[in-house]
Amino acid sequence: MPTQIPVEDGRVVLDAEDVSRALTRISHEILERNKGADDLVLLGLHTRGVPLAQRLAAKIEAVEGATVAVGSLDVTMYRDDLKSQPTRTPHRTSVPGGIDGKAVVLVDDVLYSGRTIRAALDALSDLGRPSVVRLAVLVDRGHRELPIRADHVGKNLPTARTEKVRVRLEETDGGADEVRITGGAQ
Amino acid sequence: MRKHLLSIDDLSADDMQTIFETAAEMHDVQRRDVKKLPALRGRTVINLFFEDSTRTRSSFEIAGKWLSADVINLSAKGSSASKGESLRDTVLTVTAMGVDGLVIRHSASGAAQQVSEWVSCPIINAGDGTHEHPTQALLDAYTLQRTLGSLEGRHVAIVGDLTHSRVFRSNVKSLVKLGAQVTAVAPPTLMPSGVATWSKEAGFTTAYDLDEVLAGAHGSVDAVMMLRVQRERMSGAYFPSAREYTVGYGLTRERLGTLREGAPILHPGPMNRGLEIAADAADAAQSVILDQVSAGVAVRMSVLYHLLAGPTEGVTP
């Protein structure tokens, strides 16, 4: 029987300040890599990638003084595990200004198997043809099942498969930002 | 959500909102260059139509194709049903080919329910006799909800041939479930028998005078749904002449003028222009008849997705 893990369990690996610092660094990396904010589109993956993309855009705007296009991408219909779980209601996909010829940065909270990103790449190809696609994640916890890697990582977090990485963000979960590892070998 | 969609009774108000939320996302896909989602890739859907249909069949076909399902259309004309094969044999034959979902329309009330007892794949009722047409009711409610914001406390008048209308039966159920007030208006000859008890149980009101209803005798009207006069289902004389029907129950230019500004006008189609609805009303700015058609594809994509994309084993039948 799986036991319910209380939220307080486990250990905090990133607190609110760490999250903020990581996002600041990623925003600079994105600018450096893209040589400025031109033609940049930040696409957050539902659920927690969306506020992260908005925060990155705000930080980039503060540095460059230019507005950055931010959107959201829902990959529900593109998942490879649709048949193994009850159907979920898709979220909004919104891509202001389109992605044709743009430099798209996919933003997500945790990179794990890589399957969500695989689905996101498929979803992107139905929306248009970006000139380049990069990936920014807050946490990379390893255990990839597909040949996918992140371009910008907030924190590399070596984990066991039995552990859970819980990301809490002010916008989606209330309370202070936090990344916590729970569970593991018992 | 249940395995089949045979009747609006299969859905809770929450299920309907889930279908609408998904449909809203599907609506966005209709505006894309690439109108394709991979959710039903590798699944086969058969549209089994024993009755004539243009919009429902093509709507289901487009919906299935945009979700990447393989869609096959079978109609009674030109199939072995016209050679005398029974419904059961036809259904068992097509499902034996390895079908993941069956969309069925039949002139017999209860046909979809009956078929669902014979086969193991999800069944979607696309109209059975004078019983139900759940996806039409869903797209009507979805269209109304998009136009009016919410259906809670809104007053919808459904006008026309209620006796023969499966659209009416499904719509009453869905609109009441979503919190709307429904007034059903028809000449006494086209009011379903036993409507007095039924309306009391289901929670809607009936009226015979359209002008009184539009004037607000049952509360101001927020939307009007005109139903088709179904001559093909009529065996006797239900009204003296077409002209007389129009005078009493048609949405004429004069009646259009009495509607609240912007109150949506719905019609499930196909329209008998000049009979139950005047061209002025059908083409008015507040007519949402074509929105219903485009909503139809989105809502059917949503229904196909929720019924067919998930695991097919272990679902509550």
pLDDT in tens, A54-74: 999 999 999 999 899 999 999
Give the distance from residue A186's alpha carbon to the nearest chain B alpha carbon, in angstroms: 32
Of A87, A93, A126, the CB nearest to B305: A87
- The CA-atom distances, in angstroms, between B256 and each of B244, B272, B284 are 18, 17, 9
Q: Which is nearest to B183 in space by CA: A158, B175, B247, B143?
A: B175
Count the helix, strand and coil residues of chain A and give each as a percent rounded to the nearest 5: 30, 25, 40
pLDDT reported for residue B310: 87
Catalytic residue among B56, B95, B130, B246: B56
- Record: fold of A22-81+90-159: Rossmann fold (3.40.50)
- Which residues from chain B sit within 8 angstroms of residue A98, using beta carbons? none
Q: What angle do CA B273, B172, B11 make, to 5 degrees?
A: 125
Give the full edge-to-edge strand order of the sheet including B155-159: B205-207, B181-185, B155-159, B223-226, B265-266
Q: In this complex, do A85 and B310 lie within 8 Å of one another by their Cβ atoms? A: yes
Helix axis angle for B55-66 and B134-148, nearest 10°, is: 80
Helix axis angle for B195-202 and B166-177, nearest 10°, is: 30
pLDDT reported for residue A8: 63
Q: In this complex, do A90 and B25 lie within 8 Å of one another by their Cβ atoms? A: yes
Catalytic residue among B54, B77, B83, B197: B83
Q: In this complex, do B310 and A90 lie within 8 Å of one another by their Cβ atoms? A: no
Rounded-to-integer distance, Cα B134 and Cα A176, Å? 46
pLDDT reported for residue B234: 67
Q: What distance lies between CA B309 and its chain's CA centroid?
A: 22
Catalytic residue among B2, B3, B18, B55: B55
| Token pair listed for B206 | 């009936």
Check if B200 is active-site.
Answer: no
Quick check: ipTM above 0.90? no
Of A74, A82, A122, the CB nearest to B310: A82
Rounded-to-integer distance, Cα A175 and Cα A186, Å? 29
Q: Which is nearest to B138 in space by CA: B184, B174, B164, B181?
A: B174
Q: In this complex, do A126 and B34 lie within 8 Å of one another by their Cβ atoms? A: yes
Task: Return residue ranges of chain B for CATH 3.40.50.1370.
Answer: 8-133+294-308, 135-291
Contacts 24+ apart (CB under 8 A), B143-147: B143/B264, B143/B266, B143/B288, B143/B291, B143/B292, B143/B295, B144/B175, B144/B180, B144/B223, B144/B264, B144/B266, B145/B20, B145/B178, B146/B24, B146/B291, B146/B295, B147/B223, B147/B264, B147/B288, B147/B291
| Token pair listed for B233 | 């289902």
Q: What distance lies between CA B25 and its chain's CA centroid?
A: 20
- The CA-atom distances, in angstroms, between A156 and each of A26, A42, A152, A153, A177 are 13, 21, 10, 7, 17
pLDDT reported for residue B275: 93
Q: Provide the residue-wise pLDDT of chain A in tens; the chain has 186 residues.
A: 455 545 567 899 999 999 999 999 999 999 999 999 999 999 999 999 999 999 999 999 999 998 999 999 999 999 999 988 888 999 999 998 899 999 999 999 999 999 999 999 999 999 999 999 999 999 999 999 999 999 999 999 999 999 999 999 999 999 899 999 998 754
- Cβ(B123)–Cβ(B150) below 8 Å: no
Q: What is the pTM of this model?
A: 0.90
- Pairing of the two strands A178-183 and A11-14: antiparallel
Could you say which residues of chain B have pLDDT below 70?
233-236, 312-317
pLDDT reported for residue B54: 87
Q: A115 - beta bridge partners?
A: none
Q: In this complex, do A127 and B32 lie within 8 Å of one another by their Cβ atoms? A: yes
> CB count, 10 Å around CB of B118?
13
Q: In this complex, do A126 and B37 lie within 8 Å of one another by their Cβ atoms? A: yes
Check if B133 is active-site.
Answer: yes
pLDDT reported for residue A183: 84
* CATH class of the domain comprising B135-291: alpha beta
CATH of B8-133+294-308, one of 3.60.20.10, 3.30.420.40, 3.40.190.10, 3.40.50.1370: 3.40.50.1370
Give the distance from residue A21's alpha carbon to the nearest chain B alpha carbon, in angstroms: 35
Amino acid at B196: A
